[in-house]
Structure 1
Amino acid sequence: MDRQVDPERQQMPVENANHLLNCTHRIGKSGTIFQMKAELLKTMPDGRVKIRVYGDRFWNNSEHKSRIRYVEASRIVPIIFD
């Protein structure tokens, strides 16, 4: 079964990112803490937020990938532009 992807959503540029998502990649007892660029889409009634996350973990040159995620609001911080 092929998933239909809305072409308009597929071409969302990473320049729309206005927040950073705080993430942790755990491997056994150790782990890597990193941030991913994200675009805030909606605040849910239960306090979570709907975001579009750009990239793939902490890999460079992967901003062309994006996924929709529902996370706790405390895990995102706004990007401050000067």
Structure 2
Amino acid sequence: MIVVTRLNRSRFAVNSDLIERVQESPDTTIVMVDGARFVVRETMEELIAQITAFRAGVLAQASGLSAAARAEDL
């Protein structure tokens, strides 16, 4: 999940796996796979960076768990 900010400064978390697209025109709009739309303060570049960091963290954590499981098997 990534945390984003509405234009009124309230924050909420979005499941980044369910984002269909992000567009700027001029406000940044997140369009979800179910058609829901959220207008947020973050730029498209900031959202992409958040999503990339989140997914990298998931992969790093999974890799660490896999390494720990292999170590237990030894």
More relative contact order in 1 or in 2 (CA 8 Å, sep 6+)?
1
Hey, which of these two has a bigger chunk of helix by percent? 2
State the TM-score, normalized to the length of structure 2: 0.34
Hey, which of these two has a bigger chunk of strand by percent? 1
Of structures 1 and 2, the larger Rg is shown by: 2
